[in-house]
Amino acid sequence: MSEAFRHIIRIAGTDLKGSEKLPFALDSIEGMSARTAYAAIRIAGLDPEMRTGYLSDAQAKELEKIIQDLSKIGIPSWLLNRRKDIATGKDIHLIGSDLRLANRMDVERMKATKSWKGIRHALGLKARGQHTRTTGRTGQTVGVSKKKARAMKQ
């Protein structure tokens, strides 16, 4: 382990706290879960109990390289966040801005094809089958009006 402690380490375009243990710091990268972080750490040959601030530059670069290419490293496909990608048909793992862009493109594709979820997204309504009678309201609520409010309207 390196003797120099750093309070902030930048991996995959994200600033990580040096005081956190390695898997929990990697969990703050968008697209990385704790389980995926543990897998990446094991592949890199690092100690999961290690504090992030003690990573050397070489270890940080190696870990970032592994995180960028999780689908090529040999991690099972069920652990990746984008299986059977619509564009490539392959199992890939996206992180950071690539993940945000892919999600936005998925929503735009659903809107363009006028699928049920696309229509719900376009209208700003709930798209995953939730009840909407009482929740998810925007604007003026529907319900019992008070006597003073009714009198003022008249």
Domain total for the chain? 2
Domain-located, residue 139: no
Q: What is the C-alpha separation between 13 and 42, in angstroms, rounded? A: 21
As averages over each run of 10 residues, the pLDDT of the chain (154 residues) reads 80 92 93 92 93 93 92 87 89 91 94 95 91 78 67 75
pLDDT value of position 2:
45
CA distances from 55 to 39, 46, 69, 133 (A): 17, 9, 20, 51
Could you tell me if residue 67 is inside a domain? Answer: yes
pLDDT reported for residue 145: 64
In-domain check, residue 14 = yes
Domain limits for position 49: 8-79
Per-residue pLDDT at 141: 59
The whole-number pLDDT of residue 23 equals: 94
Domain of 68, CATH number, reads 1.10.8.50
